[in-house]
Chains A and B, each alone.
Chain A
Amino acid sequence: MAKRGVKDIKPEYDCVVIGAGLGGLTCANRLARAGHSVLLLEQHTQLGGLAAWFRRKGHIFDVALHGFPYGMVKTCRKYWNQDIAGRIVQLKDIRFDNPQFQLATTYDRDDFTRILTERFGVAGDTVERFFDHTRAMTFVDDASQTTRELFQEFFPGQDAVWRLLMEPITYANGSTLDDPAVSYSIVFSNFMSRGVFTFVGGTDLIIRLMEEELERNGVEVRTRALAERILVEEGRVAGVAVNGREIKCRSVVSNANLRTTTLDMLEPSALSPEFRERADKVRINNSSCQVYMGVREGEAIPHVGDLIFMSTAEKFDAELMLSKNVTSRTFSIYYPESRPGSGRYTIVSSTNARYSDWAELDAAAYARDKAALAQDTLKALERYIPDIRGKLDHLEVATPRTFRRYTLHEGGSSFGTKFEGLTVSRGLSGQAAGLFHTGSVAIIMSGWLGAANYGVIVANDADRYLRETAGVMRGEG
């Protein structure tokens, strides 16, 4: 277990990583393996950031373990270890249920090609061109085309196709038809390469294995350690103020929310007015509501799919998906084999949500609206498991306020920032030498795979800086 607080830590580190989300964890591990001394600070009591879990009445609920692309196997093998990578398995039964279509899929290119051609009558070569086109896009590509324009180009007027292609991605990262096509394409192609995958053993096991790996590599990990300020002197990182104490360091990687990092943790003078203005204009993505349902020990539910994208809305509508009047939700169903030995079934329903819809409610209204959401969710779930109410012994609701409380993210953001966050995140080291940011930005550097890989990309930047400033590097040529 990571120690709490900052008592008896060293006075100085090569790098302080602020925040133990998947990006911060992976970045810290990578830097330690490269030989740097690393202090990892997490304000919460447990590591993982939104890769969170909690225990109630013998159940363990996963907050964000809904499925990630196959690329996570390679990422875990290279940047963590084979034990973690070896626990990744496929979720083979992804279901859609809405007024336009009902279907089950493995959510990969072959199966989607079959569905698009046979079910929706799209020409085979259009489907192939769409897959090739989306797969070829990278984050350095032009971001002016929207996803709406991309769909318009390939599938004009085909509402049902748009829904099939967009709805899961909106759940995966909060993006809409108005976000850049490049961000859609990268995330969609990552999933389509092999399908949807998860960790056997749950979030708690994976984070514990990561914590053990960090320890083996010498990372000093501290929870309940709130980084208050990043100290910059004469244009370079000098240290971090944490729990009222100052720790010296040559570099900082912030895995806190990008807006918190740029606007709260730094003195305004650390950033040029122009950069600060750009940072201030970065829009955050939406938040979420979740309903956690625990099936009583000894009870069982039938197999109804691993993920169900269900909606009663007539057509795909991202605005409607954010509405407090919920018409769309994703059910993640965890069977006993997802936590071998537990014998337990749990179900997590997720909906996208706006912080502003929940922020101002008084205690009574908040309790009432949470209860209503729980009841609506059960009613929706009865469509698949008619006797579900009698089988549950735990029912709990999280709202954007809950997400904000545990992550400290502005607006309880559960998917980081919109696309413009990328250049601010990447540009931070140009403002203060040795200062870097990793974390959910721009939709693409988000989710399990995006967050972990972005941690690696930024570890490379921090490693270069640390070696160059230590004076050990050979010049070019």
Chain B
Amino acid sequence: MTADGIRQAIIQIISEIAPDEDLTGINPDEPLRDQVDLDSMDFLDIVMELRKRYSIEVPEKDYPQLATMSSTVGYLLPRMESL
């Protein structure tokens, strides 16, 4: 998967978790939580979906890496580029 593919996959997951949110203008370097109404349960859902769809495990200590879109893609790229 490319960085862009991963970005699309994340947007897809968030759009299912928070269907009322507009995800078109997300600033990649600003915290996701400041732009989208996501709480800690929503982040847990994202982690569970990544595991289900791509067999990727994000350990709890790495949750801070999912703060922005850029950091999320950067974190997932080495784990997903072979998919």
Binding site for B on A (CB under 8 A): 34-35, 74-75, 78, 138, 453, 456-457, 459-460, 463-464, 467-468, 472-474, 476-477
Tell me the residues in window 13-45 of chain B with beta carbons closer than 8 Å to chain A beta carbons: 17, 40-41, 44-45
Q: Taking A78-B17, A467-B51, A477-B78 as contacts, is the C-beta distance between A460 and B57 under 8 angstroms?
A: no
Do A474 and B55 have beta carbons less than 8 Å apart? yes
Choose from B40, B51, B56, B78 the contact partner of A463 (Cβ within 8 Å).
B51
The 8 residue pairs across chains A and B that have the minimum distance between CB atoms = A460-B48, A474-B55, A473-B57, A473-B55, A460-B44, A472-B55, A34-B52, A453-B41
Do A474 and B44 have beta carbons less than 8 Å apart? no
> B17 — which chain A residues lie within 8 A by C-beta?
78
Min distance, Cβ B56 to any Cβ of chain A, angstroms: 6
> A453 — which chain B residues lie within 8 A by C-beta?
41
Choose from B45, B51, B56, B79 the contact partner of A78 (Cβ within 8 Å).
B45
Do B41 and A474 have beta carbons less than 8 Å apart? no
Min distance, Cβ B81 to any Cβ of chain A, angstroms: 11
Choose from B47, B55, B78 the contact partner of A460 (Cβ within 8 Å).
B47
Q: Taking A34-B52, A78-B17, A467-B55 as contacts, is the C-beta distance between A457 and B78 under 8 angstroms?
A: no
Min distance, Cβ B12 to any Cβ of chain A, angstroms: 16
> A78 — which chain B residues lie within 8 A by C-beta?
17, 41, 45
Tell whether B64 is near chain A: CB-to-CB under 8 Å: no
Q: Main secondary structure on chain B at its contact with chain A?
A: helix
**How many Cβ-Cβ contacts under 8 Å join chain A to chain B?**
42
Q: Say which size band chain B's interface belongs to.
A: 10 to 19
> B52 — which chain A residues lie within 8 A by C-beta?
34-35, 463
Residue of B nearest to A459 (CB): B48
Min distance, Cβ B13 to any Cβ of chain A, angstroms: 12
Do A456 and B41 have beta carbons less than 8 Å apart? yes
CA distance A261 to B34 in the complex (A): 40
CA distance A245 to B48 in the complex (A): 33
Residue of B nearest to A475 (CB): B57
Q: Taking A456-B41, A477-B78, A477-B79 as contacts, is the C-beta distance between A34 and B48 under 8 angstroms?
A: yes
Min distance, Cβ A192 to any Cβ of chain B, angstroms: 15
Q: Taking A474-B56, A477-B79 as contacts, is the C-beta distance between A456 and B51 under 8 angstroms?
A: no
Do B51 and A476 have beta carbons less than 8 Å apart? no
Min distance, Cβ B25 to any Cβ of chain A, angstroms: 23
Looking at B40, B41, B44, B45, the one whose CB has the most chain A CB atoms below 10 A away is B41
Do B57 and A476 have beta carbons less than 8 Å apart? yes
Name 28 A/B residue pairs within 8 A (Cβ), A-sorted. Answer: A34-B48, A34-B52, A74-B41, A75-B41, A78-B41, A78-B45, A138-B40, A453-B41, A456-B41, A456-B44, A456-B45, A457-B44, A459-B48, A460-B44, A460-B48, A463-B51, A463-B52, A467-B57, A472-B55, A473-B51, A473-B55, A474-B54, A474-B55, A474-B56, A474-B57, A474-B79, A476-B59, A476-B79
> B57 — which chain A residues lie within 8 A by C-beta?
464, 467-468, 473-474, 476
Looking at B51, B78, B79, the one whose CB has the most chain A CB atoms below 10 A away is B51
Looking at B40, B48, B52, B56, the one whose CB has the most chain A CB atoms below 10 A away is B48
Min distance, Cβ B79 to any Cβ of chain A, angstroms: 6
Known: A463-B52, A474-B79. 13 other contacts (CB 8 A): A78-B45, A456-B45, A457-B44, A459-B48, A460-B44, A460-B47, A460-B48, A463-B51, A464-B57, A467-B55, A474-B56, A476-B57, A477-B78
> B56 — which chain A residues lie within 8 A by C-beta?
474
> B51 — which chain A residues lie within 8 A by C-beta?
463-464, 467, 473
Residue of B nearest to A477 (CB): B78
Min distance, Cβ A204 to any Cβ of chain B, angstroms: 27
> B41 — which chain A residues lie within 8 A by C-beta?
74-75, 78, 453, 456-457
CA distance A467 to B54 in the complex (A): 12
Q: Scoring B residues 40 to 75 as 1 if CB is less than 8 Å from chain A, else 0, what string do you get?
A: 110011011001101111010000000000000000
> B47 — which chain A residues lie within 8 A by C-beta?
460
Min distance, Cβ A463 to any Cβ of chain B, angstroms: 6
Residue of A nearest to B47 (CB): A460
Min distance, Cβ A70 to any Cβ of chain B, angstroms: 12
Min distance, Cβ A353 to any Cβ of chain B, angstroms: 33
> A463 — which chain B residues lie within 8 A by C-beta?
48, 51-52
CA distance A78 to B78 in the complex (A): 30
CA distance A138 to B47 in the complex (A): 20
